[in-house]
């Protein structure tokens, strides 16, 4: 229908291999994620969840197929960096914070990269740090933080520019029960209160069930309900 809003993410028949085609990872993935949808991406280890998130973010090139985020063609090189800077937040499976910088310094990197002001960035950082309870650790080097603290820090960093699309790869993987609950609730609250779109790769069935929709992957393909 003409009146429907454009999906936030469109992935159509995407193929992705590594090692010159010898390792086939995505085998014709088709997926649409509505604007404001909270989607869980499940499936056994190695089925291609992280690769799919990388492809959606534009960090990984596709062999063929179409990837669009907010109407932008991600496969076309020229738009990629801007999309990633201004539109997409990414919490990596391995947090990818810079170990010798403090958490606060890490969080300011995407703000500066997107041309934001330090003052606004610091205000946003204070707000997110309070919400995640990571405030007392902000000025410590990342190498000194625990796994869970790093993960919360990575969540804060991903949200610094208030992205419309948030990609989270096992965002609660390194957390104990109570922190898992806390971080996930916070994530949902931050995303839902602002009508943002979330795609979360997770092994955690319980958390997945609390998303709007669960999509399962198996061996590089999206499983259909019938299958």
Ligand X SMILES: Nc1ncnc2c1ncn2[C@@H]1O[C@H](COP(=O)(O)OP(=O)(O)OP(=O)(O)O)[C@@H](O)[C@H]1O
Q: Which among Mg ion, ligand X, none contacts residue 19 (Cβ within 5 to 8 A by kind)?
A: ligand X
Quick one: which of 1, 2, 23, 226 contacts ligand X (CB under 6 A)? 23
Q: Provide the minimum distance between the beta carbon of 144 and ligand X in the complex, in angstroms, as a whole number.
A: 26
Residue 33 and residue 9: Cα distance in Å, rounded? 5
Q: Measured from the CB of residue 199, what is the shortest distance to ligand X in angstroms?
A: 12
Give ∠ CA 139-125-94 in degrees, rounded to 5. Answer: 70
Quick one: which of 106, 172, 112, 174 has its CA closest to 140? Answer: 106
C-alpha 174: how far from its chain's center? 16
Q: Pairing between strand 64-69 and 9-18? A: antiparallel
CB 93 within 8 A of CB 57: no
The only residue of 9, 47, 104, 166 in contact with ligand X, by rule CB under 6 A? 47
| Residues, the chain | 227
Q: Among residue numbers 68 through 97, which ones bind Mg ion (CB under 5 A)?
A: 93
7, 31, 38, 50: residue in contact with ligand X (rule CB under 6 A): 50
**Cα–Cα dist 223/55, whole Å:** 18
Say if residues 8 and 34 touch (Cβ distance below 8 Å).
Answer: yes
**Which residue, 145 or 201, is less far from ligand X as judged by CB?**
201
Does position 225 bind ligand X by CB under 6 A? no
In this chain, which of 51, 132, 161, 197 binds ligand X, going by CB under 6 A? 51
Is residue 25 within the footprint of ligand X (CB under 6 A)? Answer: yes
Nearest approach, Cβ of residue 173 and ligand X (Å): 9
For position 8 contacting ligand X by CB under 6 A, the verdict is no
Q: Which residues of the chain form beta strands (DSSP E)?
A: 9-18, 23-33, 38-42, 64-69, 72-73, 88-91, 165-169, 197-201, 213-218, 221-222
Among 16, 39, 50, 157, binds Mg ion (CB under 5 A): 50
Rama region for 174: left / alpha / beta (φ>0; ψ in -120 to 50; rest): alpha
**Interaction pattern, residues 13-42, with Mg ion; x per rule: CB under 5 A:** ------------------------------
Please report whether residue 48 would count as binding ligand X according to CB under 6 A.
yes
Binding site for ligand X (CB under 6 A): 18-19, 23, 25, 43, 45-51, 93
Binding site for Mg ion (CB under 5 A): 49-50, 93
């Amino acid at each position: 229908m003409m009146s429907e809003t454009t999906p936030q993410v469109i992935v159509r028949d995407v193929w992705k291999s590594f090692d010159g085609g010898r390792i086939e990872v995505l085998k014709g993935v088709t997926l649409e994620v509505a604007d404001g949808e909270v989607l869980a991406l499940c499936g056994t280890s190695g089925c291609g969840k992280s690769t799919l998130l990388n492809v959606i973010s534009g960090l990984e090139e596709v062999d063929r197929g179409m990837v669009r985020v907010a109407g932008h063609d991600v496969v076309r090189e020229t738009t990629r960096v801007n999309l990633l800077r201004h539109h997409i937040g990414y919490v990596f499976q391995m947090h990818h914070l810079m170990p010798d910088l403090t958490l606060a310094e890490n969080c300011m990197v995407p703000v500066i990269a997107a041309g934001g002001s330090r003052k606004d960035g610091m205000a946003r950082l204070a707000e997110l740090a309070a919400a995640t309870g990571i405030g007392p650790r902000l000025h410590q080097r990342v190498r000194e933080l625990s796994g869970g603290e790093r993960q919360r820090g990575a969540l804060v960093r991903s949200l610094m520019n208030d992205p419309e699309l948030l990609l989270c790869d096992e965002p609660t993987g390194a957390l104990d029960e109570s922190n898992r609950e806390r971080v996930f609730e916070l994530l949902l609250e931050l995303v839902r209160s602002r009508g943002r779109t979330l795609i979360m790769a997770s092994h955690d069935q319980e958390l997945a069930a609390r998303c709007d929709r669960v999509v399962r992957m198996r061996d590089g393909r999206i499983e259909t309900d019938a299958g």
